[in-house]
Structure 1
Amino acid sequence: MNAESKKLIVAVDGGGSTCRVSICEVSGAIIGAASGGSANITTDFNRALANILETIHRAYAAAGLDPTRMVGDYAYLGLAGANLEGAADLMEKALNFDRVKVTSDREITVQGAMGAEDGTVAAIGTGSFFVGRHNGEVLSIGGWGFQLGDDGGGAFLGQKLLRRAIHAHDGIVAHSPLTRGVLQRFGGTPQGLVAFVQGATPMDYGSFAPSIIKAYYEGDAIAIEIVDAAVASLHHTLDTLNTEITGVLYMLGGLGAAYTELLRPEYQAICASPKGDASDGALSLAQGLWVGETK
């Protein structure tokens, strides 16, 4: 029986910056894939839905299949922002699959990184969340959005930089090359920066993260202040999760590698490569949905 005549699994890894979709056979064989824009359903639900659907359609096309066949297929989506009340249910109702399950990107990231084994996941990208698991006990921290948390994430770092740029303009702290560059980007005055933040998304704030990390290694005083504070918060979080007891630490996300180099030695010693990525986790959980194991 060919792909056109049997049910398929659609696995979606929807993060704050990118959305990745895999069209898979029940065995796990990937027959089509595509990447798209942000899938954060709390920041902008309609935009995220449009990005998700467009990426799903392109993944079907990559498999040589008509996207309208999705009505007969099963899907598992792990999406940024889906942990907030009502968001997952709303997305499930908006997607026309035979069966569909929407969870946060936390679930698929953890599943992809360590499967059913013990360990700690520190996922630090545009946002951040942390999960520790030991002897069946699971503790989660973060993932509430950069306005309230997401410590160390790109949006968190970007917001801290913009605040410091304003402080430097007001004379509260000394300017650094980094803060001067930020103000110059917005016309040299705070007005342009203020206008920017009125409609800025987490991804917009996160766009400053690479320059912050670069400036940190160049000795920029403001960058050092921001990154050192983020690392201190990261250590406190890992301590709270009893990371050493879990035995292994997976540093994931776009900023995971940058922070790994700044960890205390005892944490660097237990860092390991993940078993798979979030897309693999979405596929694994989708396979569980197919056989009725995912609730």
Structure 2
Amino acid sequence: MMKKNYFIGVDGGGTKTQIRLESEDGKVLGEGLAGPANIRLSVDVAINSIVSAFEQALQIANLTEMRFSDEVQFHVGMGLAGYEVHSVREEFLAKQKGLGFAHCHIQSDAFVACLGAHSGNYGSIIICGTGVVGLKYAKKGKFQVGGWGFPHGDEGGAAWLGLEAIRKTLHLCDGRGIESPLLLHIKKKLGDKVESVTEWACYANATKYAELARDVFKFAEEKDSIALYLLNNAATHIEKIFFALDKVENETKIKLPCSLVGGVSQFILPLLKPNIKKRLVPARGDACDGALLMIREKYNQS
């Protein structure tokens, strides 16, 4: 008996995991949403998020009872944050074997987002979410700028904005900084004492820092000077990534299309230089679309 094939695209980021389940003919059957899937931070957390989102998609598609059936095969493509770290990538590949997928192919979340943004064609992408990464996919291969993790990288993203906001708050507390509604709000939010701010900062991860970025966005709308300063600095970091990607061109020297995506991008876009904004194009699809394109190509090759 010929088995029925289903294809799954996974977008595993630093804040959330999104899954899209499709039939062999490309019909979307269900989607799922769960917590973070940054394998650099925790392979087990990533697997739990993927399983949770997958089970949601199966339930919507009325396929829950078929998950481990011999009559079907699930082929999954995954784009995962933290993919660049070889040791955790190998750990994840070993542990995912127990999830029941017929085929599993993983890449970075940036790569599948780039595939999705340009419908599998060559192009560039800058993801500005919890973290930040730029990636160019061209004839010669892929080239990455940034995306090396928080706190040593990810400049311009939500976690970085939160970290910078905490620095400014501590400067206010010890007399090195100026007062602003944003900083007073964060200080009060975290306990109103320098000790409570430092204690929070010591134990906060990238996701927690990223949550503070919401306060930055809110107060920027109210023209808070510190919030606007932080967002303009973030935009400068994004511009540097754009120019670094622009240096790496394909053999024909054609300027490839570039898309700016991610939850922070809407706040950064208005602050970019006009010559950069002119070069940006809307994404045609998302990371789940890219992950599905990737796994379908791998399946066809096999």
1:135 deviates by: 5.3
Quote the residue 1:94 is aligned against.
95
- Do residues 144 (structure 1) and 153 (structure 2) align? no
Distance 2:203 2:15 in 1: 16
After superposition, the C-alpha distances for 1:43-100 in whole angstroms (9 at most, x for unaligned) are: 2322222111111122112111126328842211111112212222222222232221
- Do residues 252 (structure 1) and 261 (structure 2) align? yes
Aligned residue identity for 1:180: L
Kept after mapping to 1: 8 A contact 2:126/2:133: yes
Distance 1:70 1:91 in 2: 23
Quote the residue 1:52 is aligned against.
50
Aligned residue identity for 1:173: G
Aligned to 1:179, the other structure's residue is in SS state: helix
Kept after mapping to 2: 8 A contact 1:155/1:205: yes
Aligned to 1:75, the other structure's residue is in SS state: strand
1:97-246 equivalence runs, <5 A: 97-133=101-137, 136=140, 138-242=142-246, 246=255
Kept after mapping to 2: 8 A contact 1:78/1:108: yes
> Structure 1 residues 59, 156: CA separation in 2 closer, same or farther (over 3 Å shift)?
same
Kept after mapping to 1: 8 A contact 2:124/2:137: yes
Aligned to 1:272, the other structure's residue is in SS state: coil
Aligned residue identity for 2:291: A
Kept after mapping to 2: 8 A contact 1:125/1:153: yes
Distance 1:58 1:135 in 2: 37
Kept after mapping to 2: 8 A contact 1:134/1:246: no
Quote the residue 1:268 is aligned against.
277
Kept after mapping to 1: 8 A contact 2:7/2:24: yes
Kept after mapping to 2: 8 A contact 1:56/1:67: no
Kept after mapping to 1: 8 A contact 2:114/2:137: no
Kept after mapping to 2: 8 A contact 1:88/1:103: no
Cα RMSD after superposing both structures: 2.2
> Structure 1 residues 275, 70: CA separation in 2 closer, same or farther (over 3 Å shift)?
farther
Kept after mapping to 2: 8 A contact 1:112/1:274: yes
- Do residues 85 (structure 1) and 86 (structure 2) align? yes
In the comparison of the two structures, how many residue pairs are matched?
Answer: 291
Distance 1:148 1:45 in 2: 20
Identity %: 26
Kept after mapping to 2: 8 A contact 1:120/1:246: no
Aligned to 1:242, the other structure's residue is in SS state: helix
Quote the residue 2:39 is aligned against.
41
TM-score, structure 2 normalization: 0.89
Kept after mapping to 2: 8 A contact 1:121/1:249: yes
